[in-house]
Amino acid sequence: MELLQSKIEKDGVVISEDILNVDGIIHHMVDPALMEAVGEDIAAHFADRGITKVVTVESSGISPAIMAAKSLKVPMVILKKEPSKILHADLIQTMVTSYTKEMSYELTLAHRFIQPEDHVLIVDDFLSNGETATAAIRLLRHCHATIAGVAVLIEKTFQPGREKLEDSGVEVYALTRIKKLTGDQILFEKD
């Protein structure tokens, strides 16, 4: 997506060869018009697939996810990051270890918000190693929902997230694809 890529070229900050700071785009300051365009792009890609819910992970995924949900005219469900096991009959959890952030948490879903007949589109900010997306898929499949695909704003193609997801039969749609972070340069894949 041209608009998002030029914004990343302008405001993205390379922290290391693994980490891109997008505070001014997604994480800390957000342009709602850009997010609306992002949501429309995602919705257009997944139109006519019978999607019943958009699922995201707090908190950076919420802005693009609610815009995608608005375009698809379906509810958004936010998976919560909880520090530790919560004992509650309705909650299901799965451990996620983020290598990028060097931390673990319990991705949490209240069972009642996902039904077996749901066909779910997962929307998130980054796809790197795919830990978050695969954890989300575990929770959703535990509820017997089916997965329409994973849409991300930024894919790091030098990390194995896409391969992992596609190997498990899940379609990946990335609005921008970065092949290398080097010095202060962001190199995108050519279409």
Query: Of 4 and 35, which CB lies nearer to its own copies in the complex structure?
Result: 35
Q: Which residues pair with 122 in a beta bridge?
A: 55, 150
By CB under 8 A, what part of segment 118-157 binds its own copies? none
Provide the strand spans (E) within 117-188. 119-127, 146-156, 172-182, 185-188
Q: How far is the CB of 32 from its own copies (least distance, A)?
A: 4
CA distance 85 to 94: 9
Q: Which residues pair with 98 in a beta bridge?
A: 103
Query: Of 40 and 177, which CB lies nearer to its own copies in the complex structure?
Result: 40
The distance from CA 115 to its chain's CA centroid, rounded to whole angstroms, is 21
Considering the rule CB under 8 A, would residue 104 count as an interface residue with its own copies?
A: no
Considering the rule CB under 8 A, would residue 113 count as an interface residue with its own copies?
A: yes
Is the CB of residue 124 less than 8 Å from the CB of residue 133?
Answer: yes
Site string for its own copies, 17-56 (x = CB under 8 A): ------xx--xxxxxxx-xx--------------------
Considering the rule CB under 8 A, would residue 69 count as an interface residue with its own copies?
A: yes
For residue 172, what are its two tokens? Answer: 């990946």
Residues of the shown chain interacting with its own copies in the complex, contacts defined by CB under 8 A: 23-24, 27-33, 35-36, 58-59, 62-63, 66-67, 69-70, 73, 75-78, 80, 110, 113
